[in-house]
Structure 1
Amino acid sequence: MSDSTRGIPRREFMKAAVAIGGSAALSACLDRGGMPDVPKGPNDLSTLPERQHAWNRFLKNDEHGNDVAPRHQVLLFLNYAGASNATPTQSERETTESAFKSLERAYRRSHDGLLFSVGYSPSYFTRFGADNVLPKPKSLASFEDPKLDKQDAVVHLASDHAQLVLAAEEALLGNRNELNGVDVTGLSAVFNKADRRTGFVGDGLPADHQDVNGIPDSNPVPKESPLYMGFKSGFKKNQASEDSVTIQDGPFAGGTTQHVSNISLHLDQWYEQDSRDQRVAKMFCPVHAEEGRVEGAGDNLGDSSGMGDDCIGEVEEHARKRGMVGHSQKSAGARKDDSPVILRRDFDSTDGGEAGLHFVAVQRTIADFERTRESMNGEDLAGNSSVGQRVNNGILQYMTVERRGNFLVPPRSLRSLPNPNRD
């Protein structure tokens, strides 16, 4: 990053640095603003939660009690460096665990420190002859043809501070030996970097970064929006609890499953042809548009998107008589006992100069995610009304799924190259 970046506002600069990545980007961040003063992690790491996915208590909350996602995020995909038919050694497990523990000692577990988790793919577990740990990723709609992620592992890094996610990534890749005054070790002797995906979420960030393909040149993304499509998500009552997404029994009890998809956004029609009411109807429910329930990005909704019986119970009726159904309205149909089954941790992206969404979801089983996606597809509605398979069928026409991957996120005690066949 050159001196020409001096005129870029700090918020835009930090996001750009995360997208670029590497030692040069981190050095530019440190030169621009230094490293934030963040407390170290605990001396006794046993005080940390056993669940890797236990993030919620470490997030800040908005005025309605909704969890607020960390602003900067990286997905670091890794492949085991051993032979294709080899299984990890105990020494490699110890090296891996030392690297993760050094991150935990360097930064406190917090949105303004560092949150991270590591998950393993079906391809990784195949090394052990274990093909039934979790399903392989697949296309989840008749109209999509995604590439399927087969990397061995993915590390999800998140923080309100761009410098921290960059520094943690560099440490894991073996390019730093100190963080926040703590000696750290990396994973380069055990894993090879396979891919990295980056992004951001939070009020103002999408508007600051809308000069990309997929968004009209008119700069239509509202400044108050935390996501490119102009509305907030992650309402507390529309998110599964961490307890409900936790695996209850078996060799990985205490862990969870994670689905990671990369989605391209196509928002020209969304902003330049659709009216505000149409956007509200397609994102939430036609009733929300008719009654003016959504103000701005939707903060006025409080801790729920408001999917009552007048939305959930009227999906087919709205499709037949109004020719339109909402995304949230459909997705709510996948609830169990009136409770959501997935916990969303998604974020927007400008990877490759394209407007995108990295949809990260954790749930007890991959089947829970697949059922939610089936509800979102609304294929039955397309066959029995004027709603199309994608047109006026929620927000399907504005996105293309480019990649899908399934991962198992073990409890912390098993997070380092887990053996599914252990006694």
Structure 2
Amino acid sequence: MTQRYAPTRRHFLKAAVAVGGTAGLSACLDFAGEVPVPAGVEDPSTLPRRQHAWNDVLETDEHGNHALPKHHIFLYVNLDVDGEPTDSDRQQVADALSVLDRAYERSPAGLIFSVGYSPSYFQRYGSAPEGVDLPQPRALSDFEQPDFDTQDVHIHLASDRADVVMEADEALFGDRETANGVDAVAFPGTVDSRRTGFIEPGMPAEKQDEVDGIPEGTQVPEASKLFMGFNAGFAGNQASEAFITIDDGPFEGGTTKHVSRLHQRLDRWYGDNDHDSMVKKLFGTHQVGDVEGVGNNVGDHSGVVAEDLEALVEQAREHGAVGHAQKMARANRDEEGNVLTLRRHVESTDDGVASLHFPSLQRGISTFEAVREAMNGADITKETPAIRQRVNNGILRYIFVKRRGNFLVPPRELRALPTPDGEAP
């Protein structure tokens, strides 16, 4: 393919994050120049209890939609210990994480991060975390065959600065002696998988020539934050951070996190559909004509509301398709209309493939699984011949789940190797 976009600063920094290691960090530092990184707090105990509460430091657009940091690293880590961690192991983790709190301001200009623990980690103690809905990951449709992330620990690093996420990563795992001038302490674990992500208007357009799955001649819109050409994360379609917080038991103040990695077949997406067809399949049949461009005109709500099966089947028969968000809305609301999940997905070009890292936060993993079941639309296919398992069924024809993992993100005071009963901070 021919190059359509000249390299830019954000393009260069995204590439450096994907490269990783000392070379990538050096490139980031050279590009960052003399702009200082704001320091963190002297006393990490003053930071908010909820690790997942990022919205207070995120920027918002004119509609109140939160903007995630631009650069992300997802670390999947196995502890370097057998059986139950010791108090010494726990203290080392606490010290390593507190370095990041003291080194970087808790903001996109510095670093935002969270630490989660898998069901497999808790099996070191022979039991599940008390009062938490945290099953092992599993396939969530008949047509997917994902690999499962069962590593002990999931660490999510995010910043507007590529040099910060890379430096924090290296400081955590013994490849750097300091983090923003603070002496580092090595995390007692080994990174099994390191994955990178990004989200910023224009970046998918810049990266489209470098990844498989996007046909030559296709123009991902310059204004889009996502490869599929539309923005997402509208505030009115997201759960509040308070709503997804576990509200009782030893892990009160925490949440659960499902993280999937999906490959995208954008040759099909752009080859099959014009703009209206994309809106119909990504949003819903009622939204055709209401979503302009990448969707900035919809404000803080996509316009998709929960509908029962009868209404969905009627619309599917009329329009010959059913929308992705349209299907999920029925499982992603409670009886009072509250949204149940908070999604913080970002794009990726790991391994040269257009892909998506999809973290979903909710009180319990079964909530996410129910939303995914609704996304499959199996009940709609039984009633509507035009809707098949992957044909005219939202965006299922264009995404393929490669990995799934479930994690408990405990409150801050329990983030260092918690026990199932929450008694060992």
Q: TM-score range by the shorter chain?
A: over 0.9
- Structure 1 equivalent of residue 415 of structure 2: 415
- Hey, what does 1:106 align to over in structure 2? 103
Alpha-carbon distance in 1 for matches of 2:272, 2:329 = 27
Could you say what secondary structure the match of 2:115 adopts? strand
Q: Which residue of 2 aligns with 1:27?
A: 26
What percentage of residue pairs aligned between the two structures are identical? 52
**Match in the other structure for 1:397:** 397
Separation of aligned partners in 2, 1:321 and 1:309 = 18
Q: Which moved more, 1:344-353 or 1:321-330?
A: 321-330
SS at match of 1:119: strand
Counterpart code for 1:361 = S
**Is the CA contact 2:149–2:404 (under 8 Å) kept in the aligned structure 1?**
yes
For 2:3, the equivalent position in structure 1 comes to none
Question: Which one-letter code corresponds to 1:124 in the other structure?
Answer: Y
Written as runs of structure 1 = structure 2, the 5 A alignment for 1:167-186 is 167-186=167-186
**1:124 Cα deviation from its structure 2 partner:** 0.5
The answer (yes or no) to whether the contact 2:32–2:163 under 8 Å persists in 1 is: no
Structure 1 stretch 408-417 or stretch 314-323: which is displaced more?
314-323
TM norm structure 2: 0.94
In structure 2, list runs of 5 or more residues that go unmatched.
1-5
Match of 1:383 in 2: 382
1:363 counterpart residue number:
362
1:40-77 deviation per Cα after TM superposition (whole angstroms, max 9, x unaligned): 11223222100110101110001101100111101011
Q: 1:294 aligns with which of 291, 295, 302?
A: 291
State how far apart, in whole Å, the 2-side matches of 1:340 and 1:369 are.
12
Question: How far 1:311 moved relative to its partner?
Answer: 9.7
Equivalent position SS for 1:419: coil
Distance in 2 between the 1:316 and 1:208 partners?
A: 39
Q: In the superposition, relative to structure 1, how do residues 295 and 95 fare at CA in structure 2: closer, same or farther (>3 Å)? A: same
Distance in 1, matches of 2:360 and 2:34, equals 30
Contact 1:311-1:329 within 8 A present in 2 as well: no
Match of 2:208, SS state, is coil
Partner-residue secondary structure (3-state), 1:28: helix
Question: Following TM superposition, by how much is the alpha carbon of 1:382 offset from its aligned partner in structure 2, in angstroms?
Answer: 0.9
More displaced, 44-53 or 347-356?
44-53
Q: CA deviation at 1:252?
A: 1.1
Matched, 1:331 2:337: no
Mark the runs of 5 or more structure 1 residues left unpaired by the alignment. 1-6
- 2:351 aligned counterpart, secondary structure: helix
| CA distances 1:167-209 after superposition (whole Å, capped 9, x unpaired) | 110111111122222222221xx10111011110110111111
Query: Which secondary structure state, in structure 2, belongs to the residue aligned with residue 402 of structure 1?
Result: strand
User: TM-score by structure 1 length?
Assistant: 0.94
Aligned partners of 1:310, 1:145: CA distance in 2, in Å? 29
The question of whether the paired residues in 1 share the 8 Å contact of 2:343 and 2:360 is answered with yes
> What residue in structure 2 maps to residue 89 of structure 1?
86
What is the identity, as a one-letter code, of the residue corresponding to 1:305? S
Letter paired with 2:119: P
2:302 aligned with 1:318, yes or no? Answer: no
Could you tell me how far apart the structure 2 residues matched to 1:370 and 1:44 are? 38
Contact 1:283 1:394 in 2 (8 A): yes
SS across alignment from 1:53: coil
Q: Aligned residues, how many?
A: 411
Q: Distance in 2 between matches of 1:147 and 1:55?
A: 29
CA distance in 2, matches of 1:234, 1:260: 16
Instruction: Measure, in 1, the Cα distance between the counterparts of 2:110 and 2:245.
Output: 24
Secondary structure of the residue aligned to 1:209 is helix
Structure 1 residue 312 displacement after superposition: 8.9
Q: Tell me which residue corresponds to 1:37.
A: 36
Q: Secondary structure at the match of 1:257?
A: strand
CA distance in 2, matches of 1:350, 1:24: 19
RMSD across aligned C-alpha pairs, in angstroms? Answer: 1.6
Cα shift at 1:216: 1.2
Map 1:276-291 onto structure 2 (within 5 A): 276-289=275-288
